[in-house]
Chains A and B, each alone.
Chain A
Amino acid sequence: MRLLGLLLAAALLPLLPQAAEPAGDGRRSGLADMGAATQAMQRDDSRNPGMLWVLQGEQAWSRPAGRTSGSCAGCHGDARQSMRGVAARYPAFDAALGRAVDLRQRIALCRQRLQPAAPEPAESEAALALEAFVAHQSRGLPLAPPADARLEAPRERGRALFGQRMGQLDLGCSDCHDALAGRRLGGSPIPQAHPTGYPIYRLEWQGLGSLQRRLRACLAGVRAEPFDWGATEWVELELYLAWRARGLPLETPAVRP
């Protein structure tokens, strides 16, 4: 019966409204579970440390690099128009690679193919800054995962991963983030795990970090060995998470404890 439900959900996927989600379905951003101080820090751009990276990304946007001495702005122009809504659609399918890529990988591919320049290493300040700047342009827009048939199989693998128990603690993502969301784990609130604010500024990290870094922390938390950096499993999980959070507004750069 559950399998039938899953199949039905998968079949209905392209028909689902892309922009607005019916209000009051219980889904909420992790921001709602945070303390008042953290919320205030995120909401005020003059206090949000993530804005420092957005600022850095803005500078990188128009800086020439690579053999062609091209910059992002050279092709894409004003990011406020050209990048508006882009982050809300990622991860998306890359036809040349034949697989789904997330926003950071997409930016790296753009750099590699067109500038061409060596891509910034994952999780480096430069990569995070550019990703934060691009994602920031979609702030306030609802997450709108594309209705692309090629994304269905990896998204379903991501869904399976989300429910799969792993590690020495034998826990799956859904054991906490579906079943116990809103409650507490060792004093910290358990959010519903909607990736609405990445890259996020985490007070614990004292810096900006990607969704992949956050997911690694959860995997290490259940004492499982995290997948390699850039492994396809991460993007599959991100695909499912984006679909799960569809309709929720983007908050980049979010602040979390």
Chain B
Amino acid sequence: MARSLITLPVSVPRGQVFTVRVLLQHPMEGGFRVGADGRVLPRDIVRRFRCLYDGEAVIEAELFPAIAANPFLEFSVRAADSGSLLFVWEGDHGFYQREQRSVVVT
């Protein structure tokens, strides 16, 4: 299980825009490098990231081989109702990671 670091405020006033930062531990091997044995290292990247706010997609991102290891994303969300933010990363070789955080709207 990969590790992730998700930063968001614990509580936000209704209607306010807040910042969410997500950092995921992943090698993002581009598929072009040669390993110590002379073979090309197979591509192993995160291809897609989604964030759902109470089931509604607030951001969807496609990731590509030229993105550095441990991809970091920052985006803004407008606070509507108290609820949960669901973070989903999908990638090569069946990589799948989901994390959930709750946000309190005051």
Contacts and interface: CB of A to CB of B under 8 A. Distances in A.
A and B are partners in one complex rather than unrelated chains: yes
Interface of A: 45-47, 49, 51-52, 55-56, 203, 206-207
B32 interface: no
A221 to B, nearest CB: 19
Contact of B23 (A52, A56, A203): A52
Contacts of B68: 203, 206
A55 B70 contact: no
A206 B69 CA distance: 6
Contacts of B7: 45-46
Nearest to A46: B7
Interface string B92-105: 00000000000000
Given A55-B5, A56-B3, A49 B21 contact: no
B72 to A, nearest CB: 6
A47 B69 contact: no
B21 A207 contact: no
Most B CB atoms within 10 A — which of A49, A203, A206, A207? A49
Interface in B48-101: 68-70, 72
A51 B72 CA distance: 12
Most B CB atoms within 10 A — which of A45, A46, A207? A46
A59 B27 CA distance: 20
Most B CB atoms within 10 A — which of A52, A56, A203, A206? A52
A47 B73 CA distance: 9
B69 A52 contact: no
A55 B3 contact: yes
B16 interface: no
A56 B23 CA distance: 14
B25 interface: yes
